[in-house]
């Protein structure tokens, strides 16, 4: 969560959905395009404007305020500098408040081209699989087009005269911001990515996280990995990394709540072994067959948990308590007190495997790793074990 945002108070599952705020904001790509447009206009007009209109990738025309505008004159070609400060709206965004900075240089006799570069604070692509050139800046295709098209419009007079424009996007403090993202895992080093397929950031949007899951699987596949480990968060990922040390870091993907997106991408790339790392709540929701396991999408199936508890010999009164409980955690903690943690999680893992096999058929092998709330492994169940006769 970005600085300046306070955690909302907890809402119980039965309560109406809390009002999280609905003010939209702008992507890093939109702000980069605005800064580049303003700097280009500075070269054309001799002064950088204090506000500029920019066309977003979704074709909306939006007005952005510009600061720190200046033009410097050089015999080999003038340069202009402009900054657009990102407002992420009500979204808790790691790049909220970032100073998207553009330095545009006129290259005399350059042939009318627009050259886009990444400066300090913009990540460098070091691995294939992102749809971007290795060694180039992490400026995604949609914002790349948006920056180029807006600069082409603003700098038409310069380009038609046969001169080129070199546009360098930088983000002061981008290296620190990137530590709050998954960039390093994707092979994007030294800064943030310039993102945004529409230019608009919607509050608490899940689209960016879902896209990062797909992208992470793409990267693993492009590196030749044939196994992928989907975890529901940081603790389960650390647990899985300890359990499967032989796997490359690229194999580990935090899928969060996005089961369907994760599996669909893994199957598209013909992954041979799919491993799931989860705690009791998400494990139950995976067993329920949910495509998205977010708490507000659908409640946990208490009958499923109670059935698993009954299967492992929980007493009748506890089974009824579990059926009435708010959370899956209640069952896990009570059964652990009775020494049934391993068998209970194994029963849930078996249900999860059967559900995943039914929903996502294919030649891949399935493994489920169940972790406790401290991220310590409880049980690892391979799909082939379900075919074996039950042990006494």
Could you tell me which of 98, 102, 85 has the C-alpha nearest to residue 40? 102
Helices 328-337 and 341-359 cross at an angle (nearest 10°) of 140
Q: CA dihedral in degrees (132, 256, 13, 8; nearest 10)?
A: -60
Q: Looking at residues 322-330, what average pLDDT do you find?
A: 88
Asked whether residue 349 carries a pLDDT value surpassing 80, the answer given is yes
Residues of the chain with CATH 3.30.2110.10: 25-201
The string of pLDDT tens digits covering residues 149-181 is 999 999 999 999 999 999 999 999 999 999 888
Coil, strand, or helix at residue 254?
strand
pLDDT-derived band at 351, boundaries 50, 70, 90: very high
pTM of the model: 0.66
Side-chain-side CA neighbours of 290 within 13 Å: the count stands at 20
Q: Looking at residues 324-331, what average pLDDT do you find?
A: 87
| pLDDT value at residue 105 | 98
| pLDDT value at residue 66 | 98
Q: Looking at residues 250-261, what average pLDDT do you find?
A: 92
Asked whether residue 198 carries a pLDDT value surpassing 50, the answer given is yes
| pLDDT value at residue 2 | 34
Asked whether residue 19 carries a pLDDT value surpassing 60, the answer given is no
Q: Which CATH number fits domain 25-201: 3.40.50.1820, 3.40.50.300, 3.40.190.10, 3.30.2110.10?
A: 3.30.2110.10
For the ranges 60-69, 231-240, 290-299, which has the lowest average pLDDT?
Answer: 290-299
Could you tell me which of 254, 206, 207, 208 has the C-alpha nearest to residue 228? 254
| pLDDT value at residue 4 | 34
Q: Looking at residues 225-251, what average pLDDT do you find?
A: 94
The string of pLDDT tens digits covering residues 80-96 is 999 999 998 776 678 88
CA distance 184 to 155: 35
Beta strand extents in the chain (DSSP E only): 25-26, 51-55, 61-65, 67-72, 79-85, 99-107, 114-118, 121-122, 124-125, 164-170, 188-189, 191-192, 200-201, 227-231, 252-254, 273-278, 365-371, 377-382
| pLDDT value at residue 386 | 86
| pLDDT value at residue 65 | 97
| Averaged confidence pLDDT in the chain | 88
CA distance 291 to 230: 14
Please tell me which residue, 386 or 42, carries the higher pLDDT value.
42
The string of pLDDT tens digits covering residues 257-316 is 899 999 999 999 999 999 999 999 999 999 999 888 776 567 789 999 999 999 999 999
Q: Looking at residues 170-199, what average pLDDT do you find?
A: 88
Q: What percent of the chain has pLDDT over 70?
A: 90
Asked whether residue 12 carries a pLDDT value surpassing 50, the answer given is no
């Amino acid at each position: 969560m970005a600085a300046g945002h306070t955690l909302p108070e907890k809402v119980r599952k039965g309560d109406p959905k809390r009002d999280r705020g609905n003010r939209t904001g702008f992507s890093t790509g939109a702000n980069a395009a605005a800064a580049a447009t303003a700097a280009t206009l500075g070269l054309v007009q001799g002064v950088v404007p204090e506000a500029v209109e920019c066309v977003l990738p979704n074709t909306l025309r939006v007005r952005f305020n510009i600061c720190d505008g200046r033009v410097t004159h050089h015999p080999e070609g003038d340069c202009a500098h402009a900054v657009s400060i990102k407002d992420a709206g009500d979204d808790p965004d790691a790049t909220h408040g970032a100073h998207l900075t553009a330095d545009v240089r006129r290259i005399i006799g350059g042939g009318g081209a627009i050259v886009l570069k990444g400066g300090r604070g913009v990540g460098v692509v070091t691995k294939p699989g992102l749809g971007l050139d290795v060694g180039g800046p992490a400026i995604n295709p949609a914002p790349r087009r948006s920056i180029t098209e807006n600069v082409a419009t603003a700098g038409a007079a310069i380009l038609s005269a046969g001169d080129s424009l070199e546009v360098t996007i930088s983000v002061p403090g981008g290296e620190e911001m990137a530590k709050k993202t998954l960039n390093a895992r994707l092979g994007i080093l030294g800064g943030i990515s310039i993102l945004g397929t529409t230019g608009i950031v919607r509050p608490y949007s899940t689209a960016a996280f879902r896209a990062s899951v797909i992208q992470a699987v793409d990267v693993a596949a492009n590196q030749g990995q044939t196994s992928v480990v989907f975890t529901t968060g940081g603790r389960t990922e650390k647990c899985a990394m300890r359990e499967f040390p032989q796997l490359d870091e690229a194999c580990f993907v935090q899928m969060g709540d996005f089961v369907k997106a994760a599996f669909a991408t893994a199957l598209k790339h013909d992954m041979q072994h799919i491993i799931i790392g989860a705690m009791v709540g998400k494990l139950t929701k995976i067993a329920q067959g949910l495509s998205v396991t977010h708490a507000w999408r659908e409640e946990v199936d208490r009958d499923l948990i109670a059935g698993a508890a009954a299967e492992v010999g929980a007493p009748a009164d506890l089974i009824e308590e579990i059926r009435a409980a708010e959370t899956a955690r209640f069952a896990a903690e009570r059964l652990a007190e009775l020494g049934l943690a391993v068998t209970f999680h194994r029963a849930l893992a078996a249900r999860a495997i059967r559900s995943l096999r039914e929903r996502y058929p294919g030649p891949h092998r399935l493994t489920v790793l169940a972790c406790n709330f401290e991220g310590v492994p409880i049980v690892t169940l391979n799909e082939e074990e379900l075919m074996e006769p039950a042990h006494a």
